[in-house]
A and B are shown apart, each in its own frame.
Chain A
Amino acid sequence: MDPRITASRAPTLLALQGVRKSYNLGRPNEVEVLHGIDLQMQAGEFVALVGPSGSGKSTLLNILGLLERMTAGRYQLQGQDVAALDDTGLTMLRRRCMGFVFQFHHLLPAFTALENVTLPALMAQGRVTAADMARATELLGAVGLADAVHRKPSELSGGMQQRVAIARALVHSPSLVLADEPTGNLDTQSSDDVFALLREIHARQGTAFLIVTHDLSLAQRCDRVVEVVDGVVAHDGPPDRGQRPAGEI
């Protein structure tokens, strides 16, 4: 199945309507960073989120990842209105539906690669089954780390750590993987390898990806580019392979 072909016919994964986000609400230094974001993503889409620094990308990513609450607007994830959920409800939804890949890998240094990847299962069930171990080992093999499963993050290169983080984000088969600058801290070769890996996983599993990036060439290799400028969506559509999206990236 080619997700690029089926994405438009796929069910809606998430929908934002008029989402606003303010910090220091009600104080003299109140500042609104998102001014009414409308965004929809279908299941299995591979989307780049771009925009200049301070445009609100990270805030939008945090709201999409249920790590922050919006100030106003509507957010439906898999048909569920997230505003109605309490902290535990948000956590459970995040645990079930989301996978995260951060710029600085953010692996737990005290755990081996395999243990980092099995953490979501341990967190959800209180134990790691043989099936969980097999799945984690398979994923680490798929990201090219079959020989490094028992190594700690400090014994892995930056690219390898990011691969572990990708395996961890995918281990519980989430509907959406949110990646915040997944290649931002890697050299060009590692960056290309990691991006190719994300595309490969997407092609194989059909998981939806939303990738925040400053790298124009990576954004152009996504199926859809959403550009946020000054807290609003300035551009949303297929990448213009010939020219960069409006605004500085």
Chain B
Amino acid sequence: MAALPLGFEWRVALRFLREGRMQSLLIVAGVAAGVAVITYIAALINGLQANTVAKTLGTQAHVSLRAPDDVLSPAGVPGAPAAGAAVLTDTQPRAQRLRSVANWQQLLPVLEQVAGVVAVSPMVSGSGLALRGEASQSVAVMGVELERYQRIVNLRQKIAAGQWSLAPGEAMIGTELAADLGVRVGDRFSLDTGSVTETLRVSALLDLGVKDLNRRTVLLPLRSGQSLLGVPGGATVLDLQVADVWEADAMARQLRSRYPYKVESWQDNNAQLLSALNAQSVSTAGIRAVVLVVVVLGIASVLVVSVVQKRREIGILRAMGSTRAQVMRVFLLQGAVVGALGSVLGVVLSWALIAAFTAFVRGPDGGPLFPIHLSWGDVVAATLMATLCGVLAAVVPARSAAALDPAQAIRM
């Protein structure tokens, strides 16, 4: 039988821990509590942030690509201005008109091939007035290819009434708008974009989760939108969905550098939300760091006491021929074992807390407030971190144990 690496150290470390059973149990419980807090908070915050981001992105694309803004160049003559000549540098910003993304039909398949892009959908969007009887509402008109747009925004889930259909002459509208206009599924209303007015039949009512969106949204087939908004054959926006939402910013930068279009990520459009999420992440990291420090101090204090209690045993081991390094490893292993055991228990505790949260904390619809999961990555990271902390916490006690004078220790 091959020798177990550190066989002596393992045996002595485990026996020492078993000997001081209550002490060991208490510190393992302490580590478990620390790890549970760290992993539970991580899962909770990740779940909360994922839920917030999912809700935010539930009605918008990860990346949107538009035609560049119209810019006026200051008047002037080429070359250096002549002496005494007036130079007009102040220009009034130009009003932006609806413009199609140039060559969008060619661009669309190219964008679909970009690594990380999972869906691309053309849209023509502008504003208009929804009219019925005496009611008139300012609305956002969005012409889309329904199946493509479904891959950007999950509209099927948002249908409050009606059918999944967007045939020519049909429109899906927000529930609040329907209430304002006094229409139901199958009813008709007029849409006036300034230049064109068209009567549309309501095929479905949408609940987009935000009242203001429900009051303004009118979805049409792409071709209807193009004719209503005066952009024949055009698409004012190409919406992109990427595989990793947090890579949207990088994707936008990449596309900006590659194509002469105005490209914005969802992060560009939600700076305040991102800043709040970042603040949340930083404060969570702070809490986790404090808990880690408490765990390290807890393990260290117990091992320091253990070294004092076991001075005589350490002296005997040294007299019998164990090296200082062996004695040191005995205590480092104790720290590692306490850290590892505590982290395993902590993960189990964390799972229990998550299960309790999911079972007892309910949203207005009676379902879980938001889904939270403990990822294997978090579990492995917490276990490794707690074990490492155990070893680090044991360094000082281990060094003092190794430095003990065996003759003095035996006399104690």
Smallest distance from the beta carbon of B174 to chain A beta carbons, Å?
73
Q: Is the CB of B7 within 8 A of A110?
A: no
Q: How large is the interface on A (under 10, 10 to 19, 20 to 34, 35 or more residues)?
A: 20 to 34
Residue among B5, B8, B317, B324 with most chain A CB within 10 A? B8
Q: Is the CB of B313 within 8 A of A108?
A: yes
Q: Is the CB of A127 within 8 A of B3?
A: yes
Q: Is the CB of A123 within 8 A of B317?
A: yes
Please, which residue of chain A has its CB at the minimum distance from the CB of B6?
Answer: A126
A100 at the interface (CB under 8 A from B): yes
Q: Is the CB of B407 within 8 A of A123?
A: no
Pick the residue among A67, A109, A123 that contacts B326 (CB under 8 A): A123
Bound-state CA distance A33–B98 (Å) is 102
Point out the residues of chain A lying under 8 angstroms from B405, CB to CB.
Answer: 67-68
Q: Which of A7-15, A90-98, A213-221 contacts B (4 or more CB under 8 A)?
A: A90-98
Contacts A123-B317, A125-B3, A126-B4 given; does A110 touch B323 at CB 8 Å: no
Contacts A120-B320, A125-B3 given; does A67 touch B407 at CB 8 Å: yes
Q: Is the CB of B15 within 8 A of A110?
A: yes
Q: Is the CB of B407 within 8 A of A68?
A: yes
Q: Is the CB of A124 within 8 A of B321?
A: yes
A151 at the interface (CB under 8 A from B): no
Residue among A110, A119, A127 with most chain B CB within 10 A? A110
Q: Is the CB of B19 within 8 A of A91?
A: no
A192 at the interface (CB under 8 A from B): no
Q: Is the CB of A126 within 8 A of B407?
A: no
Interface 1/0 per residue, B291-325 and A, CB below 8 Å: 00000000000000000000011011111111111
Chain B interface residue count, CB cutoff 8 Å, equals 33
Q: Is the CB of A91 within 8 A of B318?
A: yes
Count contacts between A and B, CB distance < 8 Å: 83
B55 at the interface (CB under 8 A from A): no
B370 at the interface (CB under 8 A from A): no
Q: Is the CB of A91 within 8 A of B410?
A: no
Smallest distance from the beta carbon of A83 to chain B beta carbons, Å?
17
Smallest distance from the beta carbon of B177 to chain A beta carbons, Å?
77
Bound-state CA distance A125–B326 (Å) is 12
Smallest distance from the beta carbon of B315 to chain A beta carbons, Å?
8
A111 at the interface (CB under 8 A from B): yes
Q: Is the CB of B407 within 8 A of A92?
A: no
Point out the residues of chain B lying under 8 angstroms from A244, CB to CB.
Answer: none
Bound-state CA distance A98–B318 (Å) is 12
Q: Which of B26-70 contact A (CB under 8 A)?
A: none
Q: Is the CB of B410 within 8 A of A95?
A: no
Bound-state CA distance A229–B11 (Å) is 43
Subset of 27 A-B contacts with CB under 8 Å: A58-B411, A67-B318, A67-B319, A67-B406, A68-B407, A88-B325, A95-B320, A106-B312, A106-B410, A108-B12, A109-B19, A109-B313, A110-B16, A110-B19, A119-B8, A122-B7, A122-B8, A122-B11, A123-B321, A125-B7, A126-B5, A126-B6, A126-B7, A127-B1, A127-B2, A127-B3, A129-B1
Q: Given contact pairs A88-B324, A88-B325, enumerate 13 new A-B contacts (beta carbons under 8 Å).
A: A68-B405, A91-B322, A106-B312, A106-B410, A108-B15, A108-B313, A110-B18, A122-B8, A123-B317, A123-B320, A126-B5, A126-B7, A126-B8
- Sorted nearest first, the 6 A-B pairs with minimum C-beta distance are A95-B321, A126-B7, A110-B15, A126-B3, A110-B19, A67-B407
* A residues whose Cβ falls under 8 Å from a Cβ of B: 58, 62, 65, 67-68, 87-88, 91-92, 94-96, 98, 100, 102, 106-111, 119-120, 122-127, 129, 168
